């Protein structure tokens, strides 16, 4: 079974969630960005990663705005369930931007990245990385992979929400990135069952297809 939840920001206590504690071998938990366990390489962080790697289920995440891309990019890119990914340890997977994965006979399109709201406080070289912002090349790769799949997937997993949802979410999408335009085009041309995103830090279903996730753990059925 595949499950989806929101940003963790390196908080190991999130794995004490009753639903997550029941996950078993062959289950996959997908985090919608800001996994946060690759941040400073500290002893505390390494201890937390060892605990995660001791789990018998797979933890997969799209990158968000609070990841250390210098650390992430040290891991080689490989193929995982039909798409590009970074395999970290025995059960942690970085789901890359613009990929379509075939998992349990379902097609899952992923696109991480975005823009930090706290950019002004973090800019300085060691706490903010420009690679958090999706590039034109990554968007083009996403378009190509969607076209290969006939613009038809089961689920979409992103960190940023589509900008057109800002009124429903009660938040203001201040930045306008190229990826926001890409997401608006996806809404128009793609067929999909559900779209999950994590950046807003709230749990809210926006009928009929959109899900802002944070603490909730949702099974993809």
Q: What is the pLDDT of residues 156-167, one digit of tens each?
A: 999 999 988 876
> CA-CA distance, 20 to 17, in Å (whole number)?
5
> CA-CA distance, 184 to 127, in Å (whole number)?
30
Residue 5: predicted pLDDT: 98
> CA-CA distance, 212 to 204, in Å (whole number)?
5
Q: Are 142 and 148 in contact (CB under 8 A)?
A: no
User: Is the overall model pTM greater than 0.85, yes or no?
Assistant: yes
pLDDT at position 168 over 80: no
Chain segment 26-66, per-residue pLDDT in tens: 999 999 999 999 999 899 999 999 999 999 999 999 999 88
> CA-CA distance, 51 to 152, in Å (whole number)?
37
Structural domains of the chain, ranges and CATH numbers in brackets: 2-220 (3.60.21)
> CA-CA distance, 106 to 159, in Å (whole number)?
20
DSSP 3-state of 12 = helix
Closest alpha carbon to 5 in 43, 26, 31, 33? 31
Average pLDDT over residues 87-114: 96
Cβ neighbours of residue 210 closer than 8 Å, sequence gap 6 or more: 161, 162, 165, 168, 194, 195, 197
- Could you write out the DSSP letters of every residue in 126-180? TS--GGGSPPHHHHHHHHHHHHHTTTB-SEEEESSPPGGGHHHHT-------HHH
């Amino acid at each position: 079974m595949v499950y989806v939840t929101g940003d963790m920001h390196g908080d190991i206590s999130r794995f004490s969630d009753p639903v997550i504690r029941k996950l078993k071998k062959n289950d996959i938990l997908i985090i919608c960005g800001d996994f946060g366990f690759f941040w400073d390489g500290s002893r505390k962080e390494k201890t937390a990663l060892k605990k995660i790697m001791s789990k018998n289920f797979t933890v997969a995440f799209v990158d968000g705005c609070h990841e250390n891309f210098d650390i992430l990019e040290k891991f080689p890119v490989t193929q995982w369930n039909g798409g590009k990914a970074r395999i970290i340890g025995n059960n942690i997977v970085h789901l890359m931007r613009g990929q379509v994965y075939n998992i349990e006979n379902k097609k899952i399109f992923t696109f991480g990245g975005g823009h930090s709201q706290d950019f002004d406080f973090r800019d300085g070289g060691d706490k903010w990385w420009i690679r958090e912002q999706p590039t034109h090349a990554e968007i083009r790769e996403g378009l190509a992979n969607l076209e290969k799949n006939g613009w038809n997937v089961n689920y979409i997993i992103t960190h940023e929400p589509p900008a057109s949802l800002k009124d429903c979410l009660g938040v203001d999408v201040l930045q306008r990135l190229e990826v926001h335009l890409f997401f608006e085009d996806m809404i128009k041309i793609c067929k999909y069952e559900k779209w999950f995103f994590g950046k807003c830090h709230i749990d809210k279903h926006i009928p009929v297809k959109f899900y802002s996730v944070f603490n909730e753990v949702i099974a993809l059925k």
